[in-house]
Amino acid sequence: MRAGAQAIWERIDSALSLLEKAFILCVWLVFIGGSVAMKERGHIAIDLLPHVLTERGRVFLARLVAMIIFIFLAFFFWYSLQHVLRVKLIQQVTPIMQAPMWLTYLAMPVGSALMGLRVIQVFFGASGNKNIISGPDKAAMKD
C-alpha cells in the first residue's frame, strides 16, 4: 500500500515539477519575446497619428515615443534588478523544485535590458528605417 502511494506521489510531484518548469520558461519567454516584438513592431500601437504627419513629424514622434519607452524601461530595469537581488539575499526558492527563485525573476531585468537595446535601435534608426516610422501605404489608402 505504501509503495503504491509513494509511486503515485512521485508521479504527481513529477507533473507539478514540470508545471513549475513550464511557468518559469513562460516568464522568460514573455520578457525575451518583448524584445523580439519591439524589433518586429509587434507591440500594440495607435497608428492614426503617423498617418497624418509629415516624414519629419513621424521621425520626431518615433524618437519621442522611443525616449518615453526607454525611460520606462530604465526604471523597470532598476527596480526589477533590486527585486532580484532582494530575493537572492533572502534565498527564496520555488515551492516544488526548490530552485532559486531569483533565476525566474532575473527575466525582468534581462528582458527590459534587451528591449532597451531595441528602443535605442529605433531611436537612432528613426530617420533611416522607413519600416519603423512609415506612414500610410498609398495603395491601401485608395481601397
Q: pLDDT at residue 134 above 60?
A: no
- Residue-level pLDDT at 76: 96
| Over residues 86-112, mean pLDDT | 91
- Residue-level pLDDT at 141: 43
Q: pLDDT at residue 16 above 50?
A: yes
| Over residues 106-132, mean pLDDT | 81
Which residue range is the domain that position 31 belongs to? 24-142
Q: pLDDT at residue 62 above 80?
A: yes
- Residue-level pLDDT at 2: 72
Which residue bears the cell 497608428? 47
Query: Is 66 a domain residue?
Result: yes
Query: Is 100 a domain residue?
Result: yes
Query: Is 45 a domain residue?
Result: yes
How many angstroms separate the CA atoms of 132 and 124, rounded? 11
Query: Is 15 a domain residue?
Result: no
Evaluate the CA torsion angle 2, 7, 13, 16 in order and state its sign.
Answer: negative
Query: Is 83 a domain residue?
Result: yes
| Over residues 81-90, mean pLDDT | 95
Looking at per-residue confidence, does 124 or 1 come out higher?
124
Query: Is 6 a domain residue?
Result: no
The overall average pLDDT reported for the chain is: 81
Which residue bears the cell 504627419? 53
Query: Is 13 a domain residue?
Result: no
Domain count, the chain: 1
Q: What angle do CA 53, 58, 60 make, to 5 degrees?
A: 120
Query: Is 19 a domain residue?
Result: no
* pTM (two decimals): 0.75
Q: pLDDT at residue 34 above 80?
A: yes
